[in-house]
Chains A and B, each alone.
Chain A
Amino acid sequence: MIESRGVPTVTLGLVRAHLEATAPPRALFVPFVLGRPLGEPEDAAFQSRVLRHALGLLERVDGPVILEDFAVDAPSHRKRPGWAPGIVLPGGIADAPGVAREIAALMPHWLRAVARFGRSTVGITPVAPADMAGALAPYLAGGKVESPVAGLAPALALRFIADDLKAFYSEAAQEAGEQPGVGQVDRWFWSETLAGQFLVALRRAGMANPDNAIRAFATRFLVPVPYLPEGEPR
């Protein structure tokens, strides 16, 4: 759509079938996991290889459709069995007070992660980590919910506070040590933490909420299906 308005483009693509179907002018298929178009975090040389290959296609004139493959997998696609977050979880019950205690226990780890990476991706909504469990708790009751975030519909507030909660845990888990393999942080979150169980319970409650949007968001946009426990509705 940009090329048709006169500006040359090159596309990175993570799903080759989509590149074949859309046939953009210049595309580089990159064989990385969804969410990592440059392939490898904290590896400037690897990212630059991807970029140089893609940008090099801008000099090609043998269009109108150029599709190339980046032939190298990203190093983090390998499992790193030794990886584990250096966090001792307090345990307890996966209700709002229990999750609030877990968040408090993670807070020093998260603060060190923010210092390590120089930033945080938490903050889609203004709800602070210490207040997230309390802000989400009313959704467990199953009835009409007042949005805990001004200007956001209740369903969107649920969704984005949950996103921030996941990001808080994921960043805290990466506070120290080597980089985890792809998926390892998510597996830890969904299998080990009270917050993971809490979000599964919120999903279950949300799926019965009278608000259509909450039902839809709870069903599809809280818990990735591969991490749903046995017996949870799909």
Chain B
Amino acid sequence: MARIEDIPEPTRSAVLALAIAGFEAHPFVAGPPLASRRVAVVTSAALHRRGDAPFQPGSAEVRFLPAATPASDLVMSHVSINYDRSGWQRDINTIYPLDRLRALAAAGVIGAVADTHYSVMGSTDPATMAETADQIVGQLRQERSDAVLLSPV
């Protein structure tokens, strides 16, 4: 079980029918060796702190997630009901792998884990998210983060 043919209907058809806008430009930025990079995660799982307002469907906002936020403080208000949540319930690293990144940093595979990570609503049209991208990149630059892992659900 794994690939597109394994996604149950009608989700499979809905996923394939999504109007995916390609990008006209293909930016490609090189960086220093991985072992000296500071890595940040951008998750589209609509994670946020318990007690904060849930993401609204279609929201283009970003929530900053300090790396020090305990996993027990995070909840998820993604709009879709058509994906597995049992894995995230057992282990937050299934979708938000900060513990794994910390281990890779300790092993010298990456340079460091960023102080701030980023959460957005995955189903939102990227065309509405230019300001959001500006906010994320502004914070990345402030922290000298120079690599981003984009993680979906």
| Interface residues of A, Cβ cutoff 8 Å to B | 1-18, 21-25, 31-42, 44, 47-48, 51-52, 54-56, 58-59, 61, 63-65, 73-74, 76-78, 117-126, 151-152, 156, 160, 163, 166-167, 170-171, 174, 179-180, 182-183, 185-186, 221-226
A36 lies within 8 A of B3 (CB):
no
CB-nearest residue of chain B to A160: B54
| Interface residues of B, Cβ cutoff 8 Å to A | 1-4, 6-11, 15-16, 18, 20-23, 25-31, 33-34, 37, 39, 42, 50-51, 53-54, 56, 70-72, 74-77, 79, 81-95, 97, 99-101, 103-104, 109-110, 126, 129-130, 133-134, 136-137, 140-141, 145-153
A170 CA / B4 CA spacing, docked (Å) = 25
A206 CA / B142 CA spacing, docked (Å) = 47
Closest 7 CB pairs of A and B: A35-B83, A63-B28, A35-B84, A119-B72, A34-B83, A64-B26, A31-B2
A63 lies within 8 A of B54 (CB):
no
CB-nearest residue of chain A to B118: A2
Nearest-Cβ distance from residue B34 to partner chain A, whole angstroms: 5
A33 lies within 8 A of B84 (CB):
yes
A78 CA / B1 CA spacing, docked (Å) = 7
Q: A31-B3, A35-B85, A124-B54 are in contact. Are A55 and B39 (CB under 8 A)?
A: yes
